[in-house]
Every structure is written in structure tokens, then in C-alpha cells.
């Protein structure tokens, strides 16, 4: 006998494990691509909303999981509501990030993104130094990184090792 409270497809033996192998990995930095790929798989497999939300909760991570778990139980079965909640939460996080960085214009946002990408591309010790110096632009961050490398010249090879990148 089927368990009450589960979607019909789950009661009929929907194979979560087999379908999970088809799922793209969730990426908070590129949710649009994730949802496009996810929906293509779901459409190809003719999944109803209940199956989509079941599979979605299996691949969500971090903030997206928190957004999902904050929904009322009845909303968790509605794919459009789950997707909307996840995207809304990521947008709120993005807005808080911009606000904390005092971004007030599109150019300011571009500068912030370039700065963050630069810091993610350099060895962690140098990135920490650049952050501690509160570099506001990528140009200033590059100058600080150069100064750090010149000051710590003897250990530069060790700083750039792959084991230092986490």
C-alpha cells in the first residue's frame, strides 16, 4: 500500500537514484544555466511538478536549500514556486553583497565583479592581503598583489603552489 502524503509518482516507484544521475549540479553563480538544463531533463522525462521538486531538492546546495526549506510544505510541491523562491533568495544575497560593497552604479558593479574575479585568481595568501588592505578596485588590488610578491619574493614559488589553493 502506498504511503499517504507522497506524490503519486513517488508512490508508483519513481526511481530517484537513476534520475539523479541525469541532473546537472546546482551552481549558485549561474542559476539560469542550471534551471535551463534541469528543465530540459525534466521535460524530456515528462516529470510532473511533484517529481521536479523532488529532484530539485536533491541537487540544491547552501542558500538554495535554505530557500527551499523556508517554503510551506504545500509550496514545496509546486516547481514554479520553488524555482521562484530559490532565484529570489539568490537575488537578495546579490543585493546585500552589492550594498555591503557600496555599489551604486553599473560601472561600480563591473568594478566589483572584476575585483572579485581577480582575488579568486591569485594565491589565497595574496588575496587575504589584498582584502586586508581594502582594495576598492582591481587596479589597486593588482598593485597591492605586486607589492606583496616583491616584498615576499623568496617564498613566491611556495605561495603559488596548487596545494595552497584549497
pLDDT in tens, 88-115: 988 898 899 889 888 889 998 999 999 9
Position 9 pLDDT exceeds 50: no
pLDDT band at 156 (very low <50, low <70, confident <90, very high): low
One domain, residues 149 and 115 = yes
One domain, residues 129 and 82 = no
One domain, residues 124 and 64 = no
One domain, residues 65 and 28 = yes
Cβ neighbors of 25 (< 8 A, separation 6 or more) are 34, 59
One domain, residues 85 and 113 = no
Place of cell 538554495: 64
Q: How far apart are CA 132 and CA 142, in angstroms?
A: 14
Domain count, the chain: 2
DSSP symbols for the chain: -PPTTS-HHHHTT--HHHHHTTPPPP-TT-HHHHHHHHHHHHHHTT--HHHHHHHHHHH--HHHHHHHHTS-TTGGG-HHHHHHHHHHHHHHHHHHHHHHTT--SHHHHHHHHHHHHHHHHS-HHHHHHHHHTT--SHHHHHHHHHHHHHHTGGGHHHHTSGGGG-
pLDDT band at 123 (very low <50, low <70, confident <90, very high): very high
Q: Cα dihedral angle (98, 142, 153, 129), rounded to 10 degrees?
A: -20
- Single pTM value for the model: 0.63
Residue 68 lies in a domain: yes
Residue 2 lies in a domain: no
Residue 72 lies in a domain: yes
One domain, residues 92 and 133 = no
Q: How far apart are CA 124 and CA 144, in angstroms?
A: 14
Residue 43 lies in a domain: yes
Q: Which of 97, 127, 148 is the last residue before a domain boundary?
A: 97
Give me the mean pLDDT over the 51-77 stretch: 83
Q: How far apart are CA 165 and CA 134, in angstroms?
A: 21
Parent domain of 143: 103-165
One domain, residues 12 and 62 = yes
The phi, psi pair for 12, rounded to 5°, reads -90, 5
One domain, residues 121 and 55 = no
Q: Which of 76, 97, 118 is the last residue before a domain boundary?
A: 97
pLDDT band at 142 (very low <50, low <70, confident <90, very high): very high
Residue 3 lies in a domain: no
One domain, residues 93 and 161 = no
Amino acid at each position: 500500500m502506498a504511503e499517504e502524503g507522497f506524490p503519486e509518482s513517488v508512490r508508483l516507484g519513481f526511481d530517484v537514484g537513476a534520475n539523479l544521475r541525469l541532473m546537472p549540479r546546482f551552481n549558485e553563480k549561474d542559476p539560469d544555466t542550471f534551471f535551463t538544463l534541469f528543465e530540459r531533463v525534466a521535460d524530456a522525462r515528462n516529470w510532473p511538478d511533484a517529481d521536479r521538486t523532488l529532484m530539485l531538492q536533491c541537487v540544491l546546495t547552501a542558500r538554495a536549500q535554505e530557500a527551499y526549506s523556508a517554503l510551506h510544505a504545500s509550496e514545496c510541491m509546486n516547481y514554479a514556486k520553488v524555482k521562484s523562491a530559490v532565484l529570489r533568495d539568490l537575488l537578495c544575497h546579490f543585493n546585500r553583497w552589492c550594498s555591503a560593497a557600496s555599489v551604486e552604479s553599473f560601472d561600480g558593479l563591473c568594478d566589483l565583479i572584476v575585483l572579485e574575479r581577480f582575488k579568486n585568481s591569485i594565491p589565497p595568501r595574496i588575496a587575504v592581503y589584498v582584502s586586508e588592505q581594502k582594495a576598492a578596485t582591481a587596479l589597486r588590488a593588482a598593485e597591492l598583489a605586486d607589492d606583496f610578491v616583491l616584498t615576499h619574493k623568496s617564498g613566491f614559488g611556495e605561495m603559488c603552489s596548487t596545494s595552497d589553493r584549497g
